Homo-oligomer: A and B are copies of this chain.
Amino acid sequence: MKKLTLKSVAEELGVSTATISNAFNKPNQLSKAKRLEILERCEELGYTGPNKAARSLRRGKTGIVGLVLANSISYTVNDAVASTFISGVSQCLEANGQQLLLVSGAGDDLNNVNDFVDGYLCYGSPTNPNLIDALSKTTKPVITVDFNIDDYPSVNIDNIEACYQLVKQTIRPDDVVAVIGLRLIETQLTCRIYDVPMIDPVTSISRRRLLGYEKAFSECGVDFNYGQLWSIPENIESFAVRAAKEVLSNQPRPTIVYCMSDLIAVYFIREAIEIGLSVPDDIRVVGFDGTNEGQRFHPNLTTVVQNSDSKGERAAIMLLKQSKESQLLPFALHFGDSCPTNG
């Protein structure tokens, strides 16, 4: 069987390549009858239409969107919040006939993908800073989410305000506080943060959350210093459990713990129960994200519900519409059994 190309098919049917191309791409450039006949004969031959790779070379559009993640793909797809974001993105892309290429945030550059994508969505600051550089240099459109690069349009929630409100509505004057953050510093360690310089707030969503907590602590007259602040490098069991154990064994033991993800909160509660504490009676625990698991969990988490899928959808729409205006999305506080309001 000979290779099926526009050219070979055109020869076979005795018409020019342009006519075949038009039959597939520009219906009103030729008579309906001829068009239908061509399409039918093509189907007989097994020709499913012009080669998309070649078309993209000519047109300069591939129909593929690159989604640059903060971390490796393998880590990211197992994170409930990120998955929900991807879900929103893909919903929009599927509806618009665009394809989704996942790009690791741990890669060195965009060389292997840049020529295949029409634009980028970036979900969180890539761990490899080279990528930020590559993104700020590319000629393709870029939308950032949960962080910013240069003047690219972005999608965010007001993390500072969310955390501020969360503390305001849960803290009590005599509380001993602990905070478990996520990627507050660039390290692969679970550790307490004393006077280490943290990632800047523009890049780091966690840093912004911390600013919100701190503002409320200070307004409420609650002691908080960086000996009460832990950071874990990734949102996974091993790090979360380790941090939980450290926090729980600290003296005086905290009476309320603010976790920068629901997953951290879930593991924290598990560890607290393990050593015989009652949540929320002995220790109150607050999450962040509003994941399904946090709601399935017992006790159900007090948390900030952010709609990660609509974040994804918005970002994708912005990219497809070439919108230049950044968006600030709403959030909602949810008060579950892990920490009642102070109201």
Chain A residues with CB under 8 Å of chain B are 46, 48-49, 51-54, 56-57, 62-64, 72-75, 77-78, 80, 83-84, 86-88, 90-91, 93-94, 97, 99-104, 106-107, 109, 111-116, 137, 237, 266-267, 270, 292-293, 296, 298, 309
Contacts and interface: CB of A to CB of B under 8 A. Distances in A.
B73 A77 contact: no
A83 B79 CA distance: 9
7 contacts: A48-B114, A49-B111, A52-B114, A73-B90, A73-B91, A75-B87, A266-B296
B77 A87 contact: yes
A57 B64 CA distance: 16
Given A77-B90, A99-B112, A237-B296, 19 more contacts: A48-B111, A52-B114, A53-B56, A53-B57, A64-B101, A73-B90, A74-B86, A74-B90, A77-B77, A77-B83, A77-B86, A83-B83, A99-B101, A99-B113, A100-B102, A101-B102, A116-B116, A267-B296, A270-B296
A105 to B, nearest CB: 11
A293 to B, nearest CB: 6
B52 A116 contact: yes
Contact of A62 (B75, B102, B116): B116
Given A53-B62, A74-B87, A77-B86, A104 B94 contact: yes
Contact of A97 (B53, B112, B114): B112
Main secondary structure of the interface of A (DSSP, over half): helix
Contacts of A113: 52, 99
A91 B103 CA distance: 12
- Most chain B CB within 10 A, of A77, A106, A113, A270, is at A77
Contact of A52 (B52, B115, B296, B298): B115
A111 B292 CA distance: 35
Given A57-B57, A64-B116, A101-B99, A94 B74 contact: yes
